[in-house]
Amino acid sequence: MSIETLSWVGDVSDGFLRLIDQTLLPLELRTIDCRNVESVWEAIKQLRVRGAPAIGIAAAYGMVVGVQNVGAGLFEKRLYDVAQYLASSRPTAVNLFWAIDRMKHRFESVKELTSDGNTEVVSRILEELFLEARKIHEEDRTICRAIGNFGQSIIKNGDTFITHCNAGGLATADYGTALAVFFTAAELGKRIAVYADETRPLLQGARLTAWELMQRGISATLICDSMAAMVMRQGKINGVIVGADRIAANGDTANKIGTYGLAVSAHVHGIPFYIAAPVSTFDLMLSDGLRIPIEERGADEICCGFGVRTAPEGVAVYNPAFDVTPANFITGIITERGIISPVNKENIEKIIS
């Protein structure tokens, strides 16, 4: 089953972004239409669209809808206001800022045209921005397939892996990052099984990853996050593959909360631990993971998950959405350009540069 997480509908001048509302899965598969930048911001903030690559694509299209019907005299200011607004939606996933920067750079290459004040010229600039957003979208499809092709080489027939959160088609333009490795291995005829951590507190593993694996006909077993170490100790696991939201220059990696604990357990049990992520997820401006900003989300996600209170009123809550896994716990990083292993600054620079 092919999952179209995001798509553009209509013409450039009056079209809009359509995306799957992932907060409703797996009980309901429904799309929502984002016809203005506010709805794109809300979709990113509320995790209707999530996963670092998908967030970047949504932001790129969000910049297009944000400058539709804007005159030449106001175009530049509006574009930069939209960029700043979208950048405020979520702080950790670097693909968001990477995509926004690409859109700004595209505008800078053609912005002199706005000085004419001609309506046709403004339409041309809007078209250029749309083409850049479309390029980001299409590039991600190719990247997903390349990650899958490189990653499947680490999987042997009969292997069982654990994954955490959701790094599949719902998190990208096409095939996913971590799940792309499993999908590709299965397509090549390898018999594999995957344990999916439920991923507290929003259950992306239970709601999204288990659903995607089942859609693809891959053997999937759902476990609570706290069960992973026991499953490893029982000898059921051959490896771990997860996605990433930001990777520092030394290989320290931010991913969904709970990933660090999974990496520690894998390290203790001698199980290889892999990250699957596109090159755009690297932030070489940050020397190490201590400098990665970690998003903190509201207390209700823990106390009142999915509308049901499970904690006493007034209890203090700490809810970081991500944690950072040190590079020395990572066996390799699977990118569209190859696998980085061992994970260190020198090897990362060889792949990224």
Which residues are tagged catalytic?
245
- Give the C-alpha separation, 161 to 157, whole Å: 12
Cis before residue 320, ω within 30 degrees of 0?
A: no
Nearest partner of 97 among 52, 66, 131, judged by Cα: 52
- Give the C-alpha separation, 3 to 243, whole Å: 18
- Cα distances (Å, whole numbers) of residue 134 to 18, 45, 59, 103, 141: 13, 22, 12, 11, 11
Instruction: Please state the φ and ψ torsions of residue 49, each to the nearest 5 degrees.
Output: -120, 130
- Bridge partners (DSSP) listed for residue 332: 274
Q: Which amino acid is at 128?
A: E
Q: Which amino acid is at 215?
A: Q
Return the number of other C-beta atoms located less than 10 Å from residue 235's C-beta: 10
SS3 60: helix
- Check if the beta carbon of residue 327 is closer than 8 Å to that of residue 251: yes
Task: Give every CB contact of residue 272 below 8 A, 6+ residues apart in sequence.
Answer: 154, 238, 239, 240, 266, 331, 332
Give Dmax over CA atoms of the chain in angstroms.
Answer: 70
